[in-house]
Structure 1
Amino acid sequence: MSDIESEAVGRTTDNKAVRPRIPTRYLVLALIFTITVVNYADRSSLSITGSSVQADLGFSTVQLGYIFSAFSWAYVVGQLPGGVLLDRFGARRVYAFSLVLWTLVTVAVSLVGLITTPVLIAVTILFLLRLLLGAFESPAFPANARVATAWFPTAERGRATAIFNSAQYFATALFAPIMGWITHQFGWRWVFVMLGVLGLALAALWLRWMDSPRNHPRVTAAEFETIRSGGGLVDLDAPKDGSTAEVQPRAPLNATTIKQIFSARALWGVYITQYAVNALTYFFITWFPVYLVQGRGLTLLEVGFVAALPAVCGFGGGLLGGFLSDGMLRRGYSLTAARKVPSVVGLALATSIGLCNLTDSSVVIVALMTLAFFGKGIGALGWAITTDIAPPEASSFVASTMNAFGNAAGIVTPIVIGYTVQATGSFTIALWFVAAHGVLALIGFAVMGPIKRIRFNSA
């Protein structure tokens, strides 16, 4: 909290001292963090329940790999339309609509196979539901980035994006044991029912409470000035006249501005890096629990708790990376150094996942996975970098293109691992494949060059 804010909230109009209250932007961050936790729990739920679903419905390993990948096919395709919708209508309405739809799809998964169904039909239905889940979740992370751009000054944005990005790790740490226990005690279907209830409750909260910094009734003048003067794009989803009317639709992108976006070197570096980081992510949220069951012989109940260990360290690494980055900015380092140094160090650590092939000890393997996930968390600053370089006129479009390229890894990684495991009967090649993406991420940072905001050239 800034000195201006502390002074403003530390007294009332009649000069009676009161306890300083939490700035509204931190509550906004807590809300998008919570929604993102449930978002990742929804998309990773099939990895925890996968072995039970496979046994119950009779899927093969390759079929399970395709079902794992279905989410990303639609998620990638949905990024650009989602970004355009966010730029036109703002995060509040688009995010709420998206949240309700993906929650209904999550609940529908619980109904698959309730009536005796041939395996191929069950596979097809589940594949289609995962496609819908990917399509409806596609605006979520660009919306998070848009909210962070509007609500946080530049010097706090690394922490803000690190916090909502670290929700993916917290989701696994929190929900993997819960989902494993529910599956063990009551069956896999109840996992999806639970997630549905949580999603609908969050959608109602979002619609009731969320607004832009200019229009939010809880934002003080001091906090608004802190955000605005520090580089927050406070009018990103608010009318330019400062009224409290609904945000007006924005003009669509044209060919000239899109060409300038895709000719930016920094963005191509982000695309490469985000693809590599997400390859590591999708291994952990798809095949990692299956690896523990089929490759290491753990029970499903054990997997729920063991999978939480790397996730806890990934969560800690994610927070550490954001705080280190913002701390370097405050100490006078350039934006490029502040974003790249933690990222490079973290993703170098992430390559340690390949060392799992050199030991048969389950304890050592879990330790190495934990180290790799910790490093990946530190290095996952792609969203902070995107908010730093995206032009204001197309912030969500740029965020969506980054997310589309990054989540192409969610298509490739589950399928490649599914085929290699079925062909070789082990996860050896799969682990080397995943580790190689840590090196690819480092190449992406070299391509990226200096980090600075893209400005459109006037036509």
Structure 2
Amino acid sequence: MTDQLTAAKPSRIRFGMLALIFGNVIINYMDRSNISVAASAITKDLQLTPVQLGLVFSAFGWTYAALQIPGGLLVDRIKPRVLYTLCLIAWSAVTLLQGFMKGFSMVFSLRLATGAFEAPSFPINNRVVTAWFPDKERASAIATYTSGQFIGLAFLTPVLTTIEHFLTWRGLFIITGLIGIIWGGVWYFFYRDPLEHSKVNQAELDHIEKGGGVINRSATNNKEKTSFSWNNLREVFIHRKLWGIYIGQFCATSTMWFFLTWFPTYLVKYRGLNFLKSGFLASVPFLAAFAGVLLSGFLSDFLIKKKVSVNVARKTPIIVGLILSISIIGANYVDSTALIILFMTIAFFGNGLAAISWVFVSTLAPKHLIGVTGGVFNFIGNLSSVVVPLAIGFLVGGGNFAPALIFVGALACIGACSYIFLVGKVERVEVKSFSTIA
């Protein structure tokens, strides 16, 4: 250990930790989206109406969004190794139980439970990246783990569709649940915080901390860990620039939640595509989103290293991405399957570009409030997981999906305006005794 700590060249343990988060995100989104793959069969077997299906799709978001702030507070107090393990195993066990669902009430209840146990996951991701990566590498790190939700779904959607086809929707939930339980053990065995990892050397710790990484958050300052102040919670609600990223996140995740819930149903029921074929076509937009998020993160960090202003480097990919997401409306005006998928692909590529928005939590939040700021950010952002699936359920009640796509596109436009007009200068919020709106 002494030789490691005195080594001149930084170790690269942080990239191994990033790979673990990447795996967590794949499991996370697999268990969010499996309901969309199973939706057509569940609707038929359990006789669900479009409004009931909308409620089922939104159920995850009710508890997921509601518990973001409590989850953020937990993230500031419980080590990621322990908290993430508990969350992974719990939500995966609930996923497994979904293989035994009977009736609307049971479906709805188990989706509520899934959302509750997944609630702390992205605040934990942000805490881990803030601890392990310096500022100039953070957008790339966030893009890498965020890409897990897109690349995982791109390749998993056809796989999940095939599992559902041969093993029924019940087998789909049982298998995905078992995978998550096993992965929970993998996370606990391999993950450590920077100061606790036996293979990290002092050079890497210096590289992280001198570059703005907060490696000592989980190991020092007991007062911050144990005390709670309502003023701290108030602080993360009173700044205009924070509201800019909160609203922007709500709008960006609205597009995401369309793809995670109604998209396969849209292709099969409203566009008349074959079920297995729709699984493969549905993967194309996810691949585009994967490319978008990686391009966004690495381009943003590249611009930072080239001394381009933080405002341009961080905000431009997100604003451009949200504007591109408006193109989803174009699918209303074409009948060709290829053109429908093209518009969906452009829209989701844009959504990928906008997916590095977590970098603003690390950059703007007060250092001692990163967890709770991340909780509020994800709470408001994921209100879309309630609003969008449910709103679409009502909008398509008459058999026409066009109003639903207009609704999703309009929200993307609002998100772009939020980053343009509300966020302002990208700099960390200063905490004052008596704060006013910044």
2:201 aligned residue: 220
In 2, are the aligned partners of 1:253 and 1:394 still within 8 Å (CA)?
Answer: no
> Hey, what does 1:71 align to over in structure 2?
60
Q: Does 2:124 correspond to 1:150?
A: no
| 3-state SS, counterpart of residue 166 of structure 1 | helix
Comparing 182-191 with 404-413, greater Cα deviation is found at 182-191
Q: CA deviation at 1:239?
A: 3.5
Residue 427 (str. 1) matches residue 408 (str. 2):
no
Establish whether residue 441 from structure 1 lines up as the match of residue 427 from structure 2.
no
Counterpart AA for 2:178: V
User: Under a length normalisation based on structure 2, what TM-score does the superposition of the two structures give?
Assistant: 0.95
Match for residue 42 of structure 1 among 24, 31, 34: 31
What residue ranges of structure 2 are gaps of 5+ in the alignment?
none
Matched, 1:110 2:84: no
Deviation at 1:164, TM superposition (A): 1.4
Residue deviations 1:115-140 (CA, integer Å, cap 9, x gap): xxxxxxx1011101000000000000
User: What residue is the counterpart of 1:304 in the other structure?
Assistant: 279
> Of 341, 355, 375, which residue of structure 2 is paired with 1:380?
355
- Shift of the 365–230 alpha-carbon distance from structure 1 to 2, 3 Å rule, reads same
Q: Output one character per residue of 1:94-128: Cα deviation in whole Å (capped at 9) or x when no partner.
A: 11111111011000000113xxxxxxxx1011101
Matching residue's letter, 2:396:
V
* Distance (Å, rounded) in 1 between the aligned partners of 2:76 and 2:27: 24
What is the rounded CA distance, in whole Å, between the counterparts of 1:442 and 1:186 in structure 2?
42
Q: Which residue of 2 aligns with 1:59?
A: 48
Q: 2:166 aligns with which of 163, 185, 191?
A: 185
Residues 1:280 and 2:280 aligned together:
no
Q: Secondary structure at the match of 1:219?
A: coil
**Structure 1 residue 259: deviation in Å?**
2.4
1:229-285 CA-to-partner distances (Å, cap 9, x unmatched) read: 111000122246xxxxxx898133312222222111111001110000011000000
SS, match of residue 262 in structure 1? coil
How far is 1:221 from its partner?
Answer: 1.5
How do 1:16-415 and structure 2 match up within 5 A?
Answer: 23-113=12-102, 122-239=103-220, 250-415=225-390
Q: Which amino acid aligns with 2:152?
A: A
CA contact (8 A) 2:20 2:191 kept: no
CA contact (8 A) 1:89 1:248 kept: no
Do the aligned residues in 2 keep the contact of 1:316 with 1:374 (CA within 8 Å)?
yes
What displacement does 1:56 show?
Answer: 1.4
Work out the CA distance in 1 between the residues paired with 2:383 and 2:401: 21
The CA RMSD measured in Å over matched residues stands at 1.7
Q: 2-side partners of 1:287 and 1:379: how far apart? A: 21
Q: Corresponding residue for 1:244?
A: none
Matched position secondary structure for 2:381: helix
> Counterparts of 2:249 and 2:148 in 1: how far apart (Å)?
17
Deviations 1:64-115 (A, max 9, x none): 11000000000011111111111112322111111111011000000113xx
SS of the residue corresponding to residue 422 of structure 1 reads coil
> Within 1, Cα distance between the matches of 2:223 and 2:278?
48
Specify the code of the residue in structure 2 equivalent to 1:442: A
**2:237 alignment partner AA:** F
1:68 alignment partner, SS class: helix
Alpha-carbon shift at residue 155 of structure 1 (Å):
0.3
Q: Percent identity?
A: 38
TM-score by length of structure 1 reads 0.90
* DSSP-derived class of the 1:448 partner: coil
Shift of 1:381: 2.2
Pick which of 305-314 and 91-100 moved more: 91-100
Tell me if structure 2 keeps the 8 A contact 1:89–1:249: no
Residue 184 of structure 1, CA deviation: 1.0
SS at match of 1:110: helix
CA contact (8 A) 2:322 2:415 kept: yes
Relative to structure 1, the CA distance from residue 248 to residue 216 in structure 2 (aligned partners, 3 Å threshold; closer, same or farther) is farther
Q: Distance in 1 between matches of 2:42 and 2:231?
A: 48
Cα distance, 1:333 vs structure 2: 1.4
Equivalent position SS for 2:374: helix
Work out the CA distance in 2 between the residues paired with 1:214 and 1:142.
20
Check the 8 A contact 2:224/2:368 in 1, yes or no.
no
Q: 1:118 maps to what in 2?
A: none
**Structure 2 residue identity aligned to 1:403:** N
Following superposition, the deviation at residue 379 of structure 1 comes to 1.7
Matched residue SS, 1:107: helix
Could you give the per-residue CA deviations for residues 195-224 of structure 1, whole angstroms, max 9, x where no partner exists? 122111211111112111111112111111
Q: Which runs of 5+ in 1 are unaligned?
A: 11-20, 114-121, 241-246
Q: How many residues in Structure 1 have an aligned counterpart in Structure 2? A: 429
* Structure 1 Cα separation of the partners of residues 389 and 235 of structure 2: 33
- Per-residue CA shift, 1:8-40, capped at 9, x if unaligned? 459xxxxxxxxxx7x111111110011111100
Mean CA deviation greater in 82-91 or 362-371: 82-91
Q: Distance in 2 between matches of 1:252 and 1:314?
A: 40
Whether contact under 8 Å (1:212, 1:235) holds in the other structure is no
Write the letter of the residue equivalent to 1:297: G
